[in-house]
Amino acid sequence: MSHLITLIEHYGLAFVFVNVLMLQAGLPVPAYPTLIVTGALAARAPYTLPGLVATAVAASVVADLGWYMIGRRLGGRVLKTLCRISLSPDSCVRQTESIFTRWGARSLTVAKFIPGFASVATAMAGIVRLSLWRFLIFDAIGAALWSGVAIMLGFIFQDAITDILDLLSAMGRIGLMLIVAAFVIYLAWKWVQRQRFIRQLRMDRMTVQELRDLISSGAPTTVVDVRSPMSQAVTGRIPGAITVDMTKLQLELLAIPPTNEVVVYCACPNEASAVKVAQALKRRGFRRVRPLTGGIDAWIEAGHDVER
């Protein structure tokens, strides 16, 4: 443990760069503890606080630029991949689009403070073709704020943090095991959160073919699109679908006849947004309501028309 602390003191900038780069690249490796510790050790280490912040910003921008370029190249597909592999249940496509639609490039300044939003927001910037210079400016500001808070916390409370590090160093292997155990518990908790979120999404779904047959039969059917205007403008929507704003759900549901068969769709993995709206409809007395399996992507892949 003492050797680990010595390494951090002498190679703090490299340690911070690699740790922040891994986190912003999408790996579940927390970087805030590293930033706090290196900030606390700055007084006795061969690096400065401005150097620490600059290093963290550089690592963040490098990783974020990668997501930005992937977003420009692959479009919305990269968002679905991020949401599927993320340990955070908050990073749904719909939530990301809503925040980015409202705040645009400015959302990048706070993206790293919102769980599950940082990588998704940088990819979204590439998808909407935000200019590179605007992306770099706002992303760098956000990285400086995010890393600066942690580093300053470490510097302000350096005495308490140093005491804790000295105690862990005195404990030797036990101290190192405590750190490893804390990391394992963090990953386990994130995984439990993810599984709990997925369990909440369990309900009967309708396939694309079933929806197509239902529409062709002429049965009273209401198709509800809960995606953002940004997403609808890019991919179009199922013909005849009505748009529902999830933030004004109670008001907009008044336009849906409760006796109709209701099919809700989105573009989220696991149909997350669609399931939430479908569950809200059921709580308000709608009996025949189901999310569409695969959402708009499954509809398009089946070769069916969309309206713009």
| 188 and 254 both lie in a single domain | no
Choosing from 178, 200, 222, the residue where a domain stops is 200
How many domains is the chain partitioned into structurally? 2
Give the torsion sign (CA, 24, 26, 27, 30).
positive
Choosing from 168, 200, 232, the residue where a domain stops is 200
List, run by run, the mean pLDDT of 10-residue segments along the chain (308 residues): 64 89 84 88 84 95 93 75 56 62 83 76 85 94 95 88 66 65 77 68 82 88 84 84 72 68 81 80 82 88 88
Domain extent for 291: 208-301
Could you tell me where the beta strands, DSSP code E, fall in the chain? 221-225, 242-243, 261-265, 289-291
pTM: 0.66
Q: Say if 306 falls within a structural domain.
A: no
Amino acid at position 138, single letter: F
Give me the helix-helix angle, 32-41 and 2-10, nearest 10°.
80
| 46 and 173 both lie in a single domain | yes
Residues whose CB is less than 8 angstroms from the CB of residue 164 and which lie 6 or more positions away in sequence, other chains included: none
| 190 and 251 both lie in a single domain | no
pLDDT at 63: 93
Residues whose CB is less than 8 angstroms from the CB of residue 43 and which lie 6 or more positions away in sequence, other chains included: 155, 158
| 213 and 195 both lie in a single domain | no
pLDDT at 249: 62
| 135 and 190 both lie in a single domain | yes
| 258 and 278 both lie in a single domain | yes
Q: 217-241 burial, b for 16+ CB within 10 Å, e for fewer?
A: eeeeebbbbbbbebbbebbbbbeeb
| 47 and 172 both lie in a single domain | yes
Choosing from 163, 180, 200, the residue where a domain stops is 200
pLDDT at 85: 59
Strand, coil or helix: what is 307? strand
Strand, coil or helix: what is 13? helix
| 244 and 287 both lie in a single domain | yes
